[in-house]
C-alpha cells in the first residue's frame, strides 16, 4: 500500500521504464495505459498464496494447541512449568517454520503447493 501511494505521488521512474517498458513481459499488459500517457503501478505475482497457506496452517495449529491447553489445563496461559516451556517452544517453532518456508520459497528451494 505504501508503494502504491509513493507511485501515485512520484509516477514512473527511469527504473520502472527499464523494467516494464517496451520489450518486457509486462509491456503487453501496460501498453494501453502507456499509450494514453499514463503508466501503471505494476505488482508482479509473488509468493502471497504460498505465504497465506503456510500462515493459515501455522495459525490453525496454534489455535488447536491453545484449545487443547484450555481443555487439559483449564486455560491458555500458565500451568505447570514443563507445559509452559513446551507450548512456548512449539509456538516459537511454528513462527520459525513460517519464516523459513517463506524464505525457502523465495529462493526456489520449495515449490508452489
Dihedral (Cα; 97, 103, 104, 107), 10-degree rounding? 180
Q: What is the pTM of this model?
A: 0.60
| CA atoms 99, 100, 103, 109: torsion sign | negative
Q: Does the pLDDT value for residue 112 go beyond 70?
A: no
- Please give the residue that has the higher pLDDT: either 106 or 39: 106
Report the share of the chain in percent with pLDDT over 90. 33
- 63: confidence class by pLDDT, cuts 50, 70, 90: very high
Q: Does the pLDDT value for residue 105 go beyond 60?
A: yes
Amino acid at each position: 500500500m505504501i508503494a502504491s501511494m509513493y507511485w501515485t505521488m512520484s509516477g514512473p521512474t527511469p527504473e520502472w521504464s527499464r523494467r516494464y517498458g517496451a520489450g518486457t513481459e509486462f509491456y503487453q499488459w501496460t501498453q494501453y495505459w502507456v499509450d494514453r500517457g499514463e503508466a501503471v503501478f505494476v505488482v508482479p505475482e509473488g509468493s502471497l498464496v504460498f505465504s497465506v497457506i503456510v500462515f493459515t496452517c501455522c495459525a490453525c495449529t496454534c489455535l488447536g494447541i491453545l484449545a487443547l491447553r484450555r481443555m487439559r489445563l483449564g486455560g491458555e496461559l500458565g500451568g505447570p512449568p514443563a507445559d509452559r516451556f513446551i507450548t512456548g517452544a512449539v509456538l516459537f517453532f511454528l513462527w520459525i517454520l513460517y519464516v523459513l518456508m517463506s524464505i525457502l520459497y523465495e529462493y526456489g528451494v520449495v515449490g508452489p503447493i
